[in-house]
């Protein structure tokens, strides 16, 4: 059994699926579709296996069991959310292997729950579904570390955040007036972060610390629509909207000294989180393929419990086209975060009047949250090539995995888990437990507990910037509504989520980070 695992007590709880729908928290410019889930309302029994695992027993059209990683506290917080039903729905799709998985930060999303993981075997009729990736393809996060001390940052945090806001466009649709040409966009879609580095935006060594080296192979710009390309031409190097942000903070706690040193983390040093994705381009790619996949599901006789799970068999023309376009959008997102990291470095150099090397500004890692990737995993002791969907979930490969860069081959992959903008975030390390049990995956953040509309209502009449200032956090945003939608109480406590992950053994706590300044999209 995994770390902290105890024998099940036979306790049964029900995931109430009758609550209100929520907008998709990791979506594109409009935070996802405005319609609710199209599933029939029903309750699914959650059987407690141990302190951190809850099973949805196979029933009805489910081909495999469902598994939700959570504490009892987090399970109770799921009441009124459709996420449990969505885990069960995913379990009905052709070719699914292992179990349909929900992470501790799980909440309702488009098709798959946000926090959903599932793997499909092409040799067993497995499928790929845009709903298992999301509208914001390769929404992800990167972390920079520094040799700057917290006390030094606190003295300049207000002008630093002002300068970041001036230098990096943030908000719905915001971009640069100078647009990339079509040929440049094609290079971005094909080469990802490497294109940005070649243009002078960052260092070659950055590429060694990005998932997949900052470039997914198999990308085909020809499968990306003209509308998607047009939306992306002016948005490279921009934050976007919704839950995207740039956060300047510091290392508040170390849980594993050896791993922290390997990741370059020490107490009270300045850190920077950058959270964004493929902007309007990725949103449009998903939108373009939803109807394609609905037609494909009818063509191949796939019965869907929810139209939002539209899919096509792996190896089919429709699946190949989608994967080629998705990989291209993912490369755009890698380049987007690379461009922003370069601008962040420039701003910090300007404010501190020192070069990046003197400041020790180095990339720790960059991970994707919304992606479908072909990977090798063992199922029943047999190695298989599977299409692993991670929707609001993070890859968490263990020490020794050949896909990890040499610098992290012995430590396991750095796993970056941002929380809300008022409390804390975490750095974890990938584990063998995650590779065995969750296809090398773990959580991706705190997970919403309040809809955006509800959050705006809760924030009405409050002086949010003053509230944050009094807590020692300088917040900048495109609008009051942007900040209001992301108030801390709109999210679960990420410490609860991370404790569940650590307890289940699908991630290992390394460090806690706290914010000093946040730029919201």
Q: Taking a C-beta distance cutoff of 8 angstroms, is the pair 478, 241 a contact?
A: yes
Q: What is residue 4's DSSP assignment?
A: T
389 is catalytic: no
Cα 107 from Cα 84, distance rounded (Å): 8
Cα 441 from Cα 370, distance rounded (Å): 12
Give residue for tokens 């860069």.
405
Nearest to 218 by CA among 340, 314, 292, 134: 314
Q: Taking a C-beta distance cutoff of 8 angstroms, is the pair 241, 483 a contact?
A: no
Give residue for tokens 């915001």.
174
Given the residues 174, 444, 457, 469, the one annotated as active site: 444
Q: What is the bridge-based pairing of β-strands 394-395 and 96-107?
A: unpaired
Nearest to 119 by CA among 324, 380, 447: 380
Quote the strand ranges of 320-405, DSSP E: 362-368, 370-379, 382-391, 394-395
Q: How many CB atoms lie within 10 A of CB 149?
A: 14
CA pseudo-torsion sign 224, 230, 234, 238: negative
Helix, strand or coil, per DSSP, at residue 177: coil
- On the 0-12 / 13-18 / 19+ scale of CB atoms within 10 A, 163 is middle
Alpha-carbon separation of residue 432 from 80, 439, 510 (angstroms):
33, 10, 16
Angle, alpha carbons 320-222-179 (nearest 5°): 135
Q: How many CA atoms within 13 Å lie on the side-chain side of 138?
A: 33
Nearest to 430 by CA among 456, 448, 403: 403
Task: Express the helix, strand and coil content of the chain in percent, nearest 5 each.
Answer: 35, 25, 40
β-bridge mates for residue 66, sequence order: 56, 100
Angle, alpha carbons 172-175-179 (nearest 5°): 145
Q: How many CB atoms lie within 10 A of CB 41?
A: 11
Q: What is residue 210's DSSP assignment?
A: B
Active site residues: 444
């Amino acid at each position: 059994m995994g770390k902290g695992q105890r024998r099940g007590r036979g306790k049964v709880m029900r995931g109430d699926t009758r609550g209100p729908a929520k907008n998709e928290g990791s979506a594109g410019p409009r935070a996802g579709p405005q319609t609710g889930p199209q599933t029939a309302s029903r309750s699914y029994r959650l059987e407690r296996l141990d302190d951190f695992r809850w099973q949805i027993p196979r029933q009805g059209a489910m081909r495999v069991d469902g598994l939700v990683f959570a504490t009892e506290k987090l399970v109770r917080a799921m009441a009124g959310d459709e996420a449990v039903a969505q885990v069960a729905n995913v379990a009905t799709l052709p070719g699914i292997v292992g179990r349909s998985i929900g992470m501790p930060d799980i909440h309702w999303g488009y098709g798959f729950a946000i926090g959903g993981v599932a793997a499909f075997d092409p040799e067993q009729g497995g499928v790929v579904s845009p709903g298992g990736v999301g509208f914001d393809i390769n929404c992800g996060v990167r972390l920079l570390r520094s040799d700057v001390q917290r006390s030094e940052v606190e003295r300049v945090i207000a002008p630093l955040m002002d300068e970041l806001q001036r230098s990096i466009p943030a908000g719905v649709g915001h971009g640069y007036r100078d647009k990339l040409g079509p040929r440049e966009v094609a290079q971005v879609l094909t080469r990802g972060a490497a294109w940005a580095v070649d243009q002078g935006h960052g260092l070659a060594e950055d590429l060694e610390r990005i998932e997949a080296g900052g470039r997914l192979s198999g990308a085909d710009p020809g499968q990306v629509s003209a509308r998607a390309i047009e939306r992306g031409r002016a948005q490279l190097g921009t934050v976007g909207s919704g839950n995207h942000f740039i956060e300047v903070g510091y290392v508040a706690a170390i849980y594993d000294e050896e791993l922290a040193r390997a990741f370059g983390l020490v107490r009270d040093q300045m850190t920077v989180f950058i959270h964004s994705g493929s902007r309007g381009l990725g949103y449009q790619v998903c939108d373009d393929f939803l109807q394609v996949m609905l037609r494909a599901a009818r063509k191949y006789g796939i019965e869907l419990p929810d139209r939002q799970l539209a899919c096509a068999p792996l190896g089919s023309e429709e699946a190949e086209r989608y994967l080629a376009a998705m990989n291209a959008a993912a490369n755009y997102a890698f380049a987007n975060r690379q461009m922003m990291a370069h601008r962040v470095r420039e701003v910090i150099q300007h404010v501190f009047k020192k070069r990046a090397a003197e400041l020790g500004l180095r990339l720790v890692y960059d991970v994707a949250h919304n992606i479908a990737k072909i990977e090798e995993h063992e199922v029943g002791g047999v190695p298989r090539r599977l299409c692993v969907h991670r929707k609001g979930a993070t890859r968490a490969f263990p020490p020794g995995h050949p896909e990890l860069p040499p610098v992290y081959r012995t430590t396991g992959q750095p796993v970056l888990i941002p929380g809300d903008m008022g409390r804390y975030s975490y750095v974890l390390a990938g584990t063998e437990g995650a590779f065995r049990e969750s296809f090398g995956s773990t959580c991706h953040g705190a997970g919403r507990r309040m809809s955006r509309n509800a959050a705006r209502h809760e924030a009405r009449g409050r002086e949010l910037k003053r509230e944050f200032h009094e807590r020692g956090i300088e917040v900048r945003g495109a609008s009051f509504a942007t900040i209001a939608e992301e108030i801390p109480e709109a999210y679960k406590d990420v410490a609860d989520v991370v404790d569940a992950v650590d307890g289940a053994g699908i991630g290992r706590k390394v460090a806690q980070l706290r914010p000093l300044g946040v730029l919201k999209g």
